[in-house]
Chain A
Amino acid sequence: MKKENLLWNATKIGLLGGAIAIFICLVGMAEIFSKRDVVETVITLGQFVLLATSVVTGFTASRQAINLLGPNQPLSALTAGLIAGLFTGLVLTLFVVAGDKVNIRAVFLNASPTLYSLLTFGKGVSNSWVLAVGGAMSGLLGAGYLLLPELFRRTINRALLVTVFMALFSNLFRVVFINQGMEQIAKFIFGQTGLTMPGSLIFFFGVILISWFWNYRGRQIQSGVARLPKSGQLSLRAATIALIAIIALGLPQASGPFIAQVIVTVALFILMGLGLNITLGFAGLLDLGFVAFYAIGAYTVGLLTSYGIFGLQHVSFWVAVPIAVLVAMGAGFVLGLPVLGVRGDYLAIATLGFGEIVRLLAGSDFLAPYFGGPQGIIGIQKPCLGILGPFLKIDVPRVCNGIELGKPQDIYYVAVAAALLIAFVAWRLRESRLGRAWMAIREDEDVAEALGINLIQTKLLAYMLGAAFAGLGGAIFATLIGSIFATSMQLTVSLNVVSLIIVGGMGSIPGVIVGAIALIGLPELLREVSEFRYLLYGMALIIMMLAKPEGLWPSQATRRELHHVEVEADVKA
């Protein structure tokens, strides 16, 4: 009886895997991911993803089998994996065969001949049985993987992740190495669309070796370091920080404007994330109109520094930024005041409305004489480390007698400095009395009020400080792009920021950084990811909420809250 159950479960999982595989094909991922290789001429990213699907299917089926039957039935587990993988492959085979007979291209755009030839490795429908066999094999592999000891599994996981990561960014690394003159090495390891064969082997086994080494010697090294005298430990830490600082300072010069631009964009979202972290993460106020403050900061800088016709005072960047932050804070006050009494989901929609109102007004013809309307504000002056010459006439930039921070590589320093500064401020805020007041409000407003916390003041400060950080981000954005348009201030930006602090870990400062790198940096760097950016966001949000709602790098409080860890453990920690 249990065996029948087992078969049925495995089949179900296999069919589910098959459905996922078909989804991947129909949504266009299979085709687009195939343009990039994991290992050149060996396996494309598309093939890798499909393969991974059936391996994971086998893994899941086998794990369920072990749950049902206990851990001493490896054969059953393997069979379960095999069957699940087989069904996944069968579903794909049927898909190919059916596609040959019935043309569904009128409905599903991606069910094109290219897709089918991709699935059959170019050899036509008769070759589609390969998919079923491949599915079965990979299901078996997945099942077998589960049976390996945990240590092996973790090491291989790590090695795989690093290798795939390197493959995804292969062409970026390649360009960087070539620009620095290390052509031979670059072309040996990094291909144009993925890692070369030798390159992939180097990374895969390299990580395995390092992990192995760390496992055997790591503890010794750690205890060795711990046994150093205090001064020794301090100097070690100082050296590490110095090394990181040197790399961070030299990075834009080594890697060129593109990577610098991406890092600046990530830094700006970190700024916004830190701001929303205060409003939402600390104080629990779900503000979905956050982009409004970003827009206000950007427009303030634009209006003040532009040498075009909308420029008000044509002041320098360094003067405009504090003003922009103050104006944004004011906006936080003004927009926070009306919604002080509004709670929960209603607050989300109300603030969403505010965000949209700001965007619509900024781009409207009504306010066009002041804000540029659809034409936006162009000609925003770049920051100048030195004395700015006088403003001469419209459309002529002020001359910078000093170093002009015109390129993304230069703005990088401003952005990273701002992000570090604000992270520090956020950290101090969290440890302060105000920070604790915010967390009290987040837990229960009424109790907080009963404890003597002034709700109005505390909430307003949450809005204002969150707005200030976002305004700073907007200010730097305006000068990075040199122009602002209301169309850049969409609701999707607010949703991006909310997503990134959730995925990173709400209320956690390192979490914001991780979230920004994952959700903002990756799509900027990987064209394939950016094509499916919001689809992957959606999946990531759902999966995170289901599996790890406290985020990737959570603060202690959130992890406790969401995983019901015992109170005694907290006392010790």
Chain B
Amino acid sequence: MKRLLTLISLLVLASMVLAACGPGAAPTYECTDALGCVKIGPTEPIHLAYWGVLSGADASLGEDSKRGVEIAIDDKGGKLLNHDILLTTEDAGCTPEGGATAAAKLASDTSLVGLIGSSCSDETVGGVAAITNAGLTTISPSNTRPVLSSPDRGPDYAGYARTAHSDAFQGKAVAEFAYNFLKVTKAATLHDGSAYAQALQQVFADEFTALGGEIVAQEAVAKDATDMKPVLTTISAAGPELIYYPVFVAVGGFVTAQVRDVSGLEEVYLIGSDGIFTADLLKGGGENTMGMYLSSPDFSAFTGDYAGFIAKHEAKYGGSTLSTFHAHAYDAANILFAALEKVAVVQEDGTIYVPRQALRDAIFATKDFQGVTGTLSCSASGDCGAPVIAVYEIVNSDPASWNPASADAPNPKKVYP
């Protein structure tokens, strides 16, 4: 056994030595970009990567966005600047370490031109430094943590932009819905210990209070909790008219299934957010999901051809969309393509040089881009989203009926604004 291990390690080390002694490639075009250029040979594909959560309980989020990118590639005929587009994927597992590892892997690949991702804000927090330092730029379709595109986000984020909204908008929209539309004055919140939920319910609480409402209870459970009745009893003791729980499906399902069994909560309004904007909630919550509200990007406010996008999605994958950020991913991909077309230097023989800093600048300089989700302009701190949040109501608790984008029988149905 020891000899085998020694043999293997020697082989590995030997190949590393060989690799380190190899000659470098000789460039023919003078690359003057501060971050260097990517050289793409005449027959080589343009290598892009999608990184996000592709496995585990939240895989539908990452898979949904990836499909948006794939549809964008299809729309281009699979080609850009006469080269094939090669899309590879990297799973980041919705954790900061996963994001750091995925980002490190991407940063090692010098053939990469641009990235779409990540899915979870945690992944970005862990991985963005590696991406920025490698000269790459990534556009996220679904990170919603406010701090990621705030002006004082720090130099690690120089290579990061996003087409998703910031939760600062989502919390505000839900607060306005609760106060102005449902006319409630007493609300309670519940979060599941995730950074996303805790930040979002706090935004809601602040905005609701600013509007004149009263937050009677702010509770939390652990992510793996199963018995929600005690904490719901605590909430019930405070007498709320509404419970806002912007959590993920695990806790969301349990809460919805158990809330009506707690005395005092038989009539309260229930609101969740995009974390549970998925058919899985109907599976876990059962009949109690009827009449529940969910906030999400407003599909009907998409000024671009969203219906056309949905038709393409239906044709390519069958069935309805998996999560909420597919159109944002589509727009992110197209912004990347537009920037690439603008800055790429094409030689006569078909070789392309992509200057990295110029690409980054072009992405951040995007103005009035006609995307599906709206007319997009990127701020200097990477905020490219056109945030319009809507509130939807679940009208049918059968998981098979989930189809928010349907024209004639949408479930859930938009009720606000």
- The answer to whether A and B touch directly, with their CB atoms under 8 angstroms apart, is yes
Tell me if B316 is interfacial: C-beta within 8 Å of chain A. no
Do residues A254 and B154 form an inter-chain contact, with CB atoms below 8 A?
no
Q: Of the candidates A158, A261, A524, which one forms a contact with B7 in the assembled complex, judged by CB atoms under 8 Å apart?
A: A158
Bitwise interface map of A from 179 to 223 toward B, beta carbon under 8 Å scored 1, else 0: 111110000000000000000000000010010000000000000
* B24 contacts across to A, CB distance below 8 A: 180-181
Do residues B125 and A483 form an inter-chain contact, with CB atoms below 8 A?
yes
Bitwise interface map of B from 56 to 73 toward A, beta carbon under 8 Å scored 1, else 0: 000000000000000000
Q: Of the candidates A247, A364, A487, which one forms a contact with B16 in the assembled complex, judged by CB atoms under 8 Å apart?
A: A247
Do residues B96 and A483 form an inter-chain contact, with CB atoms below 8 A?
yes
Q: Of the candidates A158, A165, A261, A374, which one forms a contact with B101 in the assembled complex, judged by CB atoms under 8 Å apart?
A: A261
Q: Of the candidates A181, A365, A531, which one forms a contact with B22 in the assembled complex, judged by CB atoms under 8 Å apart?
A: A181
Do residues A553 and B2 form an inter-chain contact, with CB atoms below 8 A?
yes
Do residues A180 and B7 form an inter-chain contact, with CB atoms below 8 A?
no
* B370 contacts across to A, CB distance below 8 A: none
Do residues A182 and B154 form an inter-chain contact, with CB atoms below 8 A?
no
Tell me if B17 is interfacial: C-beta within 8 Å of chain A. yes
Tell me if A507 is interfacial: C-beta within 8 Å of chain B. no
Do residues B195 and A406 form an inter-chain contact, with CB atoms below 8 A?
no
Q: Of the candidates B13, B16, B23, B198, which one forms a contact with A375 in the assembled complex, judged by CB atoms under 8 Å apart?
A: B198
Q: A207-B7, A374-B195 are known contacts; what are 20 more A-B pairs with Cβ within 8 Å?
A: A158-B7, A176-B16, A180-B24, A182-B18, A182-B23, A261-B101, A360-B222, A363-B193, A365-B198, A374-B193, A374-B194, A375-B199, A376-B96, A376-B195, A397-B155, A481-B96, A482-B129, A487-B193, A488-B95, A514-B5
Tell me if B19 is interfacial: C-beta within 8 Å of chain A. yes
Interface locus among B103-111, B233-241, B300-308, B318-326: B103-111
* B110 contacts across to A, CB distance below 8 A: 179
Tell me if B97 is interfacial: C-beta within 8 Å of chain A. yes
* B108 contacts across to A, CB distance below 8 A: 175, 179, 255-259
Those of B1-38 within 8 Å (CB) of chain A: 1-2, 4-5, 7-8, 11, 13, 15-25
* A407 contacts across to B, CB distance below 8 A: 130, 133
Tell me if A226 is interfacial: C-beta within 8 Å of chain B. no
Q: Of the candidates B13, B21, B55, B133, which one forms a contact with A406 in the assembled complex, judged by CB atoms under 8 Å apart?
A: B133
Bitwise interface map of A from 407 to 426 toward B, beta carbon under 8 Å scored 1, else 0: 11000000000000000000
Q: Of the candidates B19, B126, B152, B197, which one forms a contact with A180 in the assembled complex, judged by CB atoms under 8 Å apart?
A: B19
Tell me if B80 is interfacial: C-beta within 8 Å of chain A. no
Those of A486-535 within 8 Å (CB) of chain B: 487-488, 514, 524, 527, 531
Do residues A397 and B105 form an inter-chain contact, with CB atoms below 8 A?
no
Q: Of the candidates A207, A395, A481, which one forms a contact with B97 in the assembled complex, judged by CB atoms under 8 Å apart?
A: A481
Task: Give residues in B with beta carbon < 8 Å to A.
Answer: 1-2, 4-5, 7-8, 11, 13, 15-25, 55, 91, 95-97, 100-101, 104-111, 122, 125-126, 129-130, 133-134, 152, 154-156, 191, 193-195, 197-199, 220, 222-223
Say how far B124's CB is from chain A's closest CB, in angstroms.
10
Bitwise interface map of A from 336 to 379 toward B, beta carbon under 8 Å scored 1, else 0: 00000000000000000000000010011100000001111011
Interface residues on A, range: 35 or more
Counting residue pairs across A and B whose Cβ atoms lie within 8 Å, the total is 140
Q: Complex formed: what's the CA distance from A260 to B100 in Å?
A: 12
Q: Are A247 and B55 also in contact (CB < 8 A) when A162-B7, A180-B22, A254-B20 are?
A: no
Do residues A258 and B125 form an inter-chain contact, with CB atoms below 8 A?
no
List the 6 closest pairs (A to B, CB-CB), nearest first.
A256-B108, A261-B104, A258-B108, A180-B22, A182-B22, A258-B105
Do residues B129 and A406 form an inter-chain contact, with CB atoms below 8 A?
yes
Do residues B16 and A483 form an inter-chain contact, with CB atoms below 8 A?
no
* B220 contacts across to A, CB distance below 8 A: 365
Tell me if A480 is interfacial: C-beta within 8 Å of chain B. yes
Q: Which residue of B lies closest to A488 (CB)?
A: B97
Tell me if A161 is interfacial: C-beta within 8 Å of chain B. yes
Q: Are A261 and B100 also in contact (CB < 8 A) when A175-B109, A397-B154 are?
A: yes
Q: Are A483 and B126 also in contact (CB < 8 A) when A375-B199, A524-B101 are?
A: yes
Those of A453-506 within 8 Å (CB) of chain B: 480-483, 485, 487-488
Tell me if A95 is interfacial: C-beta within 8 Å of chain B. no
Do residues B11 and A162 form an inter-chain contact, with CB atoms below 8 A?
yes
Those of A68-93 within 8 Å (CB) of chain B: none
Do residues B19 and A176 form an inter-chain contact, with CB atoms below 8 A?
yes
* B20 contacts across to A, CB distance below 8 A: 180, 250, 253-254
Q: Which residue of B lies closest to A378 (CB)?
A: B125
Tell me if A129 is interfacial: C-beta within 8 Å of chain B. no
Q: Complex formed: what's the CA distance from A257 to B55 in Å?
A: 23
* B100 contacts across to A, CB distance below 8 A: 261, 480-481
Do residues B198 and A373 form an inter-chain contact, with CB atoms below 8 A?
yes
Tell me if A48 is interfacial: C-beta within 8 Å of chain B. no
Q: Complex formed: what's the CA distance from A564 to B136 in Å?
A: 58
Tell me if A285 is interfacial: C-beta within 8 Å of chain B. no
* A176 contacts across to B, CB distance below 8 A: 15-16, 19
Say how far A390's CB is from chain B's closest CB, in angstroms.
18
* A487 contacts across to B, CB distance below 8 A: 95, 122, 193-194, 223
Q: Which residue of A lies closest to B154 (CB)?
A: A395
* A488 contacts across to B, CB distance below 8 A: 95-97
Do residues B122 and A485 form an inter-chain contact, with CB atoms below 8 A?
yes
Q: Are A158 and B4 also in contact (CB < 8 A) when A256-B108, A483-B125 are?
A: yes
Q: Of the candidates B16, B22, B111, B130, which one forms a contact with A408 in the assembled complex, judged by CB atoms under 8 Å apart?
A: B130
Q: Complex formed: what's the CA distance from A376 to B154 in Å?
A: 17
Q: Of the candidates B13, B22, B107, B126, which one forms a contact with A247 in the assembled complex, judged by CB atoms under 8 Å apart?
A: B13
Tell me if A177 is interfacial: C-beta within 8 Å of chain B. yes
* A178 contacts across to B, CB distance below 8 A: 111
Tell me if A244 is interfacial: C-beta within 8 Å of chain B. yes
Do residues B11 and A395 form an inter-chain contact, with CB atoms below 8 A?
no
Q: Of the candidates B15, B96, B152, which one forms a contact with A395 in the assembled complex, judged by CB atoms under 8 Å apart?
A: B152
Q: Complex formed: what's the CA distance from A247 to B14 in Å?
A: 9
Q: Which residue of A lies closest to B222 (CB)?
A: A360
Q: Complex formed: what's the CA distance from A263 to B106 in Å?
A: 16
Do residues B22 and A258 form an inter-chain contact, with CB atoms below 8 A?
no
Q: Which residue of A lies closest to B152 (CB)?
A: A395
Do residues B195 and A485 form an inter-chain contact, with CB atoms below 8 A?
yes
10 A-B residue pairings within 8 Å (CB atoms)? A183-B25, A258-B107, A259-B108, A261-B104, A364-B193, A373-B198, A375-B195, A407-B133, A482-B125, A485-B195
Q: Complex formed: what's the CA distance from A364 to B194 in Å?
A: 10
Q: Which residue of A lies closest to B4 (CB)?
A: A158
* A251 contacts across to B, CB distance below 8 A: 16
Tell me if A552 is interfacial: C-beta within 8 Å of chain B. yes
Q: Complex formed: what's the CA distance from A524 to B100 in Å?
A: 12
* B197 contacts across to A, CB distance below 8 A: 374
* B130 contacts across to A, CB distance below 8 A: 257, 261, 407-408
Q: Of the candidates A165, A244, A256, which one forms a contact with B107 in the assembled complex, judged by CB atoms under 8 Å apart?
A: A256
Say how far B78's CB is from chain A's closest CB, in angstroms.
18
* A181 contacts across to B, CB distance below 8 A: 22-25
Do residues A255 and B125 form an inter-chain contact, with CB atoms below 8 A?
no
Q: Complex formed: what's the CA distance from A360 to B109 in Å?
A: 38
Those of A256-294 within 8 Å (CB) of chain B: 256-262, 265
Q: Which residue of A lies closest to B107 (CB)?
A: A257
Do residues B15 and A173 form an inter-chain contact, with CB atoms below 8 A?
yes
* A210 contacts across to B, CB distance below 8 A: 7
* A254 contacts across to B, CB distance below 8 A: 16, 19-20
Say how far A472's CB is from chain B's closest CB, in angstroms.
18
Q: Which residue of B lies closest to A161 (CB)?
A: B4
Do residues A379 and B195 form an inter-chain contact, with CB atoms below 8 A?
no
* B111 contacts across to A, CB distance below 8 A: 178
Q: Complex formed: what's the CA distance from A174 to B22 in Å?
A: 13
Q: Complex formed: what's the CA distance from A317 to B101 in Å?
A: 22
Do residues A244 and B13 form an inter-chain contact, with CB atoms below 8 A?
yes
Q: Which residue of A lies closest to B55 (CB)?
A: A531
